[in-house]
Chain A
Amino acid sequence: MSLVDLTATQLLAELGSGRVTSAEVTGAYLRRIDEHDGQLKAFLRAGRAAAMARAEQVDRRRAAGGSLGRLAGLPVAVKDVLCTAGEPTTCASRILENFRPPYDATVIARLRQADAVLLGKTNMDEFAMGGSTENSAFQVTRNPWDLERIPGGSSGGAAACVAARMAPLSVGSDTGGSIREPAGLCGVTGLKPTYGRVSRYGLVAFASSLDQVGPLARTAEDAALLLEVLAGHDPRDSTSIDRPVPRYTESIHRPLESLRIGLVREHFGEGLDGEVEAAVREAVRVYRSLGAAVKEVSLPHGKYAVATYYIIAPCEASSNLARYDGVHFGSRTDERRMSAELEAERRELERAGDQRRLADLDNPLIRMYRRTRSEGFGAEVKRRIMLGTYALSAGYYDAYYLKALKVRRLIRQDFDRAFGEVDLIAGPVAPTPAYKIGEKIDDPLAMYLFDLYTVSTNLAGIGGISIPCGFSREGLPIGLQLQAPPFEEERLLRAAHMFQQATDWHTRRPELDGGNGAA
């Protein structure tokens, strides 16, 4: 068995016993990236030299008997939405193409403290807006199970690199399903923690009341390992919660007794692919065979979740992304061309004697903002900024934003009621397996509707996990989503681990061409 086939937990044991060095493990993953990423394009940048140097440093410390962190010598890939000090952090956007943050995100600092080896930064939908990773300004990541298909998104690179054995662990972010959906479509395990469990400091903001950082891994056990390092209170994020982080890696081995699983009546309606439904129902049967009781529950406001989410998230985004103004950091439009353009417009309007439009003509600062942002943002980001700006503008605030906040409360109350009756909710992650690249790119509403099973988790602020539960006839992975009450990550991980002890879907790996990595 090659090193890249071992789980992170197994690698950690091998590293700890001295049977293998971090330089060997890191080298094996870097070779794997060299072989396959030309085709898959999961990484925006792999830090080869830095990763090897770090690995060797950890090896030297280990050899000298020095104290080592929790992930000592383990390679970890990081979504390019997390700030890495002095190194490019682009959010897959032109506007941040050359941005080097002056500080590390707290989760990056935690990974460094844990002596992890940072492998590189993974591709994503621009500013985490999207569910296919097609909205990256730089490249389209391919699903390792079928190169013609999307890997899901927005953490598409994060999921694809784990599925393709190019990283044992990877860190993503989830605002409306951006960890769980790509995990489901790529056949890996992805966990979105409860809002407040992981620090958002240095996570480039998309929708601040919904964003959360979490792990992607091959197994629930590995996700537990990574979450243990990522989670915890951070004085720099006032929404991070000051409560102890459980030892997820220990409790995960205790199966849940007298588990009550809820199946949501409304989940099995129109639009759900037959093969996905069959796989999910089979997964629930597995839980029943493990002693779980299964009960039908109702989330009556679930059908409003997509509309609610696509009002609230763009509203927050339009406000958060106002910071990209071409002044403090990021790119700026060519000022000479901007001035020439404005001057030409002015002359043209003066010649035409159009006093009204002359009075409305942008001043140079406003025009600089507008050109900078129009050149720097892609179509989906512009669409969300426009939607959010519109929904927050005078006269529409009550009808859209305020209304959505009220529905959000009802969605949360549905979950609170359901969790009075069951311990976990099980259901699909996505309505179909991965679709073809380009299939929905001109239909944003269809893209949004693909998120129907994941967005309510973020709106309610609860936790959710996606685990592999089968394959379609075409050989595409199908994911099972489990949702739990706030701060019940232990329950999610234990339930996921129970399932992975009883099934082997998570051990399947995609066949990739050998080759030299040429696309």
Chain B
Amino acid sequence: MAISRNEVEKVSLLARLRLSEEELEKMTSQMGAILEYFALLKQVNTEGAEPMAHALDVSDVFRPDQLRPSLDRELALAEAPHRDAECYLVPAVLGE
């Protein structure tokens, strides 16, 4: 297999996912099959090919540095699952 269960578990932490035992098993075999298929690209001679990150060769787009209204704080916070009057709230990460 192209990827081990252990690797899949590590990637799930990087991806901020938590997979059940059953999901881990299925993910390992499905990712394995897909990664094996990706090996097809080894056939392609890409020497000298400029990586194409974007469909358009546009250069940087500038706009005047002018002050404009941005999203109102109340609107920005309106969809937060947990908040107070001015902040997003998250579980404590520091100290005990």
Interface residues of A (CB under 8 A from B): 99-103, 195-196, 209-210, 235, 238-239, 241, 301, 303-304, 306-308, 310-311, 318, 322, 325-332, 335, 338-339, 363-371, 373-374, 377, 379, 382-383, 385-387, 389-390, 393, 400, 402-410, 412, 444-445, 448, 458-461
Contact = CB atoms under 8 A, between A and B. Distances in A.
Interface string B64-96: 000000010001101111100000101111000
Nearest to B40: A307
A238 B63 CA distance: 10
B11 A386 contact: yes
Interface of B: 3, 7-8, 11-19, 23, 27, 30-31, 33-35, 37-38, 40-41, 43-44, 46, 49-56, 58, 61, 63, 71, 75-76, 78-82, 88, 90-93
A382 B19 contact: yes
A238 B61 contact: yes
Contacts of B79: 99-102, 328-330
Nearest to B81: A332
Nearest to B26: A379
Contacts of B37: 306-307, 445
Contacts of B46: 403, 406-407, 409-410
B3, B37, B56, B92 interface centre (most CB from chain A within 10 Å): B56
A386 B17 contact: yes
Nearest to B58: A239
Main secondary structure of the interface of B (DSSP, over half): loop
Contacts of A371: 18
B29 to A, nearest CB: 11
A447 to B, nearest CB: 11
30 contacts: A99-B79, A102-B78, A209-B55, A239-B56, A241-B56, A301-B44, A303-B40, A304-B40, A304-B41, A310-B38, A326-B81, A327-B90, A328-B80, A328-B88, A364-B92, A365-B90, A367-B18, A368-B90, A370-B17, A371-B18, A383-B30, A385-B15, A385-B17, A390-B11, A390-B35, A407-B44, A409-B46, A445-B33, A448-B34, A458-B55
Given A195-B55, A373-B17, A393-B11, A407 B49 contact: yes
A394 to B, nearest CB: 10
B8 to A, nearest CB: 7
Contact of A196 (B44, B55, B63, B90): B55
Contacts of B55: 195-196, 209-210, 412, 458-461
A382 B27 contact: yes
A445 B35 CA distance: 10
A409 B75 CA distance: 42
A371 B35 CA distance: 26
Contact of A364 (B8, B50, B91): B91
Contacts of A210: 55
Given A387-B34, A389-B11, 6 more contacts: A318-B15, A363-B93, A367-B18, A373-B18, A405-B53, A412-B55
A386 B52 contact: no
Given A407-B41, A445-B37, A196 B56 contact: yes
